């Protein structure tokens, strides 16, 4: 079935324009994600470029041959910029304008300007080049994206392959042949319009999906993050802690829980102000980050209370880690020596099992045992029980 090219031209312009409006709407109303703004600009320029290119053979050759294709190449550059920004890299104006600049420069060469075959090949290669750049952006950022980018990569690959093939086989098509629907190049021109519409619709949809997925991930991360210190909160600790407990129980590996509470924190706030108290909390979070392993789970679970789960750690090793944390915090130059200290309660799964609420309760008892014995010390649950027994 032959596709009516004038109808495809009109439909493509309206589709590009409509998708541009919808993408700008999504950008303004929902996320304010810059990739959507660049993508909306890409579609708007694509609509304008298609309209200008269709003005051939109307006595204004400069408009379709130079200006129309220049706008379409700017559109391809904006498409690359949208994906580049989504991948976490800044816009690159020279790269975005390079395709249009090359086209404008070549159009000043008479041999190039007068050869439709050469113009089609060069234009197609420039579009394919932007496609390769988009795929490169996705590939180099694949570990940081954390979203399903493969549909966008696959769409861009097909788009790039199509224009690479077109650069070789398309000899160009005069506009009178386009509107009359005859000539060897009509099927390929029809396919190009159809492919362009499918690509624009597809890339808009998958980009919006990627943006939505990223926003949801950020919201989820915020729900599991303590706003002041940047480490996990109580919810994060309970979720990741339960997961660690199940894994250690399955392997029969020991696990230790450290419950830390900054000493005299209320007095610190009253004497030096809440800003200093906040700085102390942030500083202690950094101490934990520097003295614990990547696989350990730690979080701020209360006002000045922090909890740490140490995987594959017995009581003796846990006490050494706790002492290292206590000493590192006491040495911080935030305040005068002796004003910063922390008490730590330690409990292990070796004697108390793998039940997180029970471990927290026993560690809390050990912590307050450390508070009762003068603060600025490490107290184990087993030792706490022995010291509390009569006689």
> For 89-126, how does the pLDDT look when each residue is reduced to its tens digit (9 = 90+)?
999 999 999 999 999 999 999 999 888 889 999 999 99
Cβ distance 334 to 227 under 8 Å? no
- Tokens 């060069």 locate to 122
CA triplet 293, 248, 283: central angle to 5 degrees?
Answer: 25
CA triplet 257, 232, 252: central angle to 5 degrees?
Answer: 35
Tens digit of each residue's pLDDT (9 = 90 or more) over 337-370? 778 899 999 999 988 889 999 999 999 999 999 9
Q: If DSSP codes are grouped into helix, strand and coil, which group holds residue 303?
A: coil
- Cα separation, 311 vs 34, whole angstroms: 41
Q: Does residue 226 have a pLDDT over 70?
A: yes
The pLDDT-based confidence of 217 (bands split at 50, 70, 90) is confident
pLDDT value, residue 189: 79
Mean pLDDT of 188-194: 83
- Cα separation, 304 vs 140, whole angstroms: 41
* Residue of 225, 165, 223 lying closest to 191 (CA atoms): 165
Cβ distance 217 to 147 under 8 Å? yes
Tokens (6 digits) for 193: 């319009």
Tokens (6 digits) for 225: 């993050």
Tens digit of each residue's pLDDT (9 = 90 or more) over 271-315? 889 999 999 999 999 999 999 998 999 999 989 999 999 999 999
- Cα separation, 23 vs 29, whole angstroms: 10
Cβ distance 322 to 348 under 8 Å? no
Q: If DSSP codes are grouped into helix, strand and coil, which group holds residue 124?
A: helix
Cβ distance 225 to 298 under 8 Å? no
* Residue of 350, 329, 324 lying closest to 339 (CA atoms): 329
Mean pLDDT of the chain: 88
Where helices occur in the chain by DSSP H, the ranges are 5-26, 34-53, 62, 69-86, 93-107, 110-114, 116-140, 142-145, 150-169, 175-180, 186-223, 234-251, 265-272, 274-291, 315-330, 349-352, 356-372, 381-388
Mean pLDDT of 323-332: 93
pLDDT value, residue 290: 93
Share of the chain above pLDDT 90, in %: 63
The pLDDT-based confidence of 389 (bands split at 50, 70, 90) is very low
């Amino acid at each position: 079935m032959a596709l009516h090219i004038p109808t495809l031209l009109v439909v493509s312009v309206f589709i590009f324009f409509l998708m541009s409006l919808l993408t700008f709407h999504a950008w303004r109303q929902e996320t304010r994600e810059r990739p959507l703004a660049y993508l909306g600009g890409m579609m708007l320029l694509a609509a304008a470029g298609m309209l200008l290119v269709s003005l051939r053979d109307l006595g204004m050759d400069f408009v379709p041959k130079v200006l129309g294709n220049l706008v379409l190449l700017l559109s391809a550059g904006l498409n690359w910029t949208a994906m580049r920004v989504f991948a976490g890299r800044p816009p690159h104006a020279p790269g975005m304008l390079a395709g249009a600049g090359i086209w404008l420069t070549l159009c000043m060469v008479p041999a190039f300007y007068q050869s439709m075959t050469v113009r089609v090949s060069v234009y197609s290669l420039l579009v394919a080049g932007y496609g390769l750049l988009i795929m490169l952006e996705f590939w180099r950022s694949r570990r940081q994206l954390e979203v399903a980018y493969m549909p966008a990569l696959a769409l861009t690959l097909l788009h790039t392959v199509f224009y690479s093939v077109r650069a070789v086989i398309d000899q160009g098509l005069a506009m009178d042949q386009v509107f009359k629907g005859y000539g060897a190049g009509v099927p390929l021109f029809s396919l190009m319009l159809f492919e362009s519409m499918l690509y624009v619709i597809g890339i808009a949809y998958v980009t919006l999906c990627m943006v939505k997925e990223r926003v949801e991930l950020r919201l989820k991360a915020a729900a599991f993050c303590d706003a002041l210190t940047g480490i996990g909160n109580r919810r994060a600790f309970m979720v990741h802690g339960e997961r660690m407990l199940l894994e250690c129980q399955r392997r029969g590996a020991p696990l230790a829980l450290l419950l830390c509470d900054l000493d005299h924190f209320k007095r610190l706030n009253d004497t030096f102000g809440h800003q200093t108290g906040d700085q102390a909390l942030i500083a202690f979070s950094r101490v934990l980050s520097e003295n614990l392993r990547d696989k350990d789970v730690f979080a701020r679970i209360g006002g000045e209370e922090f909890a740490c789960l140490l995987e594959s750690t017995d009581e003796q090793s846990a006490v050494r880690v706790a002492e290292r944390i206590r000493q590192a915090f006491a040495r911080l130059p935030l305040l005068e020596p002796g004003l910063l200290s922390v008490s730590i309660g330690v409990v292990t799964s070796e004697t108390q099992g793998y039940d997180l609420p029970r471990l927290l309760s026993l560690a809390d008892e050990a912590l307050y045992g450390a508070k009762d014995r003068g603060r600025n010390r490490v107290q184990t649950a087993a030792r706490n029980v022995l010291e509390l027994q009569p006689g």
